Amino acid sequence: MPGQARVVFMDRSSRIGLIVFVIALAVLALAPYWASRQVLRLLAEIYGYVALASAWNLLAGYGGLVSVGQHAYVGLGGYLLFALTMFAGVSPLWAVPVAGIGAAAASIPVAALVFRLRGHYFAIGTWVVAEVFRLMAAQVSALGGGSGTSLPAGIVIAIAAAREMREFLVYWTALAVTALVLGLIVGLLRSRYGLALTAIRDNEIAALSSGVSVRRVKFVVYVTTAFCTAMVGAVIFLQKLRISPDAAFSVNEWTAFVIFIAVIGGIGRIEGPIVGTAIFFLLRQLFADLGSLYLLMLGAVAIAIMLKAPRGVWGLLADRFMLQIFPLQRRIIQDSRITQERSHDIRQEASETTS
């Protein structure tokens, strides 16, 4: 008798993990009451990297779209925020999601172009797009051209009159955007697209032969990532209050660091970028004085991890101890009266399909 089957995401570790996560979120939301200004700024910066690395992880780790040009959308988000507030009179905080939507719209024709490049060449194609965005931003004289501009005082005051309140609001926006990005990614991965994406991650040909519209799924992922990345970019430059083409479209800050974070933490797992960001900031606090040597070291660490432990630090931990913080892994419970659970690993199924 074929029993009713249910798909279950939660397990014991993710139940505990989620509780810890929610508590952490609450503690962080109250940070303005317990943290100093410097700590608040550092935390907001950390949130930015968590969100950027998570978005890149969705794109490259799940979607197989290895982009080295995501700084295009960080910069676009920042510039859209400045343009929206200065020329359209949008309130600065509302400009953050609007900048995200604007960048998502811009990413549609970009995707149509860069998707023509296969695999490796796609990566460099995304970089060209970022260069084009940077050069075009430098041509906008109303936003200061190549030397950039500051957010006018009137707009800064529009966030909140008191400086302290302003910093709190920007901090909360940063936290909210990161929580939203993580929520969006978890939601996407739990949806039908998530199943298709996981299948693509594990074996693209197998996914294709199982009826997954690989192209459409990748398109959705690309546009979603652009939306997330641009919102983060908008928050980053709302905090900096100053923008210039070189800072907004910096390949080191918004792509190299982000990729290293994802690689070190663990590609293809949602917890990876969070762990990676923690390690990245720890290393930075310890070795930042070394300047360019520090970057050199970071590159070497990323290469070593890619070769020796391609699933990253979190991948090693999660496999060793069967951990998942976010309930993403699907398990099928066959029948309500049968207690036996069949662990249903999609990855195994995909590899069985090919062999």
Partner 1 sequence: MTEWANVVVQGVLIGGLYAMFAAGLSLIFGIMRLVNIAHGDFIVLAAYMALVASTTLGLNPILALVIVAPLMAALGYVLQRLLLNRTLGDDLLPPLLVTFGLSVIIQNGLLELFTADSRRLQAGAIEVASIPIVPGIAIGVLPLLQFALAVAVIGGMQLVFYRTALGRAFRATSDDQAVAQLMGLDNRHVFAVGMALSLAVVAVAGVLIAVRTNFDPAIGPARLIFGFEAVIIGGLGSLWGTLCGGILLGVAQGIGAHVDPGWQMLAGHLAFLTVLAVRPEGLFPKIR
Minimum Å gap between C-beta 89 and partner 1 is 29
Cα separation, 258 vs 54, in Å, equals: 9
Cα separation, 83 vs 155, in Å, equals: 12
Pick 46 or 264: Cβ nearer partner 1: 264
Pick 141 or 285: Cβ nearer partner 1: 141
Pick 120 or 337: Cβ nearer partner 1: 120
| 248, 134 contact by CB (below 8 A) | yes
Minimum Å gap between C-beta 118 and partner 1 is 9
Cα separation, 155 vs 315, in Å, equals: 44
| 298, 283 contact by CB (below 8 A) | yes
- Residue whose pair of structure tokens reads 């501009």 in the numeric block: 149
Minimum Å gap between C-beta 299 and partner 1 is 4
Pick 144 or 146: Cβ nearer partner 1: 146
- DSSP annotation of 342 reads B
| 265, 142 contact by CB (below 8 A) | no
Contact residues for partner 1, defined by CB under 8 A:
60, 64, 66, 68, 113, 116-117, 119-121, 123-125, 127-128, 131-132, 135-136, 138-139, 146, 251-252, 256, 259-260, 263, 267, 291-293, 295-296, 298-300, 302-303, 306-307, 310
| 319, 311 contact by CB (below 8 A) | yes
Minimum Å gap between C-beta 334 and partner 1 is 33
At 183 the three-state DSSP class reads helix
Pick 132 or 278: Cβ nearer partner 1: 132
Minimum Å gap between C-beta 311 and partner 1 is 11
Pick 91 or 139: Cβ nearer partner 1: 139
Cα separation, 76 vs 323, in Å, equals: 36
Minimum Å gap between C-beta 292 and partner 1 is 4
Contacts of residue 26, defined as CB under 8 A and 6 or more positions apart, other chains included, come to: none
Residue count of the chain: 355
Minimum Å gap between C-beta 100 and partner 1 is 24
Pick 48 or 312: Cβ nearer partner 1: 312
Pick 32 or 146: Cβ nearer partner 1: 146
**Cα→Cα distances 336→1, 7, 333, Å:** 13, 12, 8
Minimum Å gap between C-beta 117 and partner 1 is 7
Minimum Å gap between C-beta 87 and partner 1 is 21
Pick 128 or 241: Cβ nearer partner 1: 128
* Alpha-helix residue ranges (DSSP H) falling in the chain: 12-29, 31-34, 37-56, 71-87, 92-114, 119-139, 153-159, 163-190, 192-202, 204-209, 214-240, 245-248, 251, 257-265, 272-287, 292-308, 312-321, 346-354
The token duo for 19 is 């509780």
Pick 86 or 132: Cβ nearer partner 1: 132
> What is the identity of the amino acid at 100?
G
- Residue whose pair of structure tokens reads 């780790």 in the numeric block: 61
Minimum Å gap between C-beta 16 and partner 1 is 31
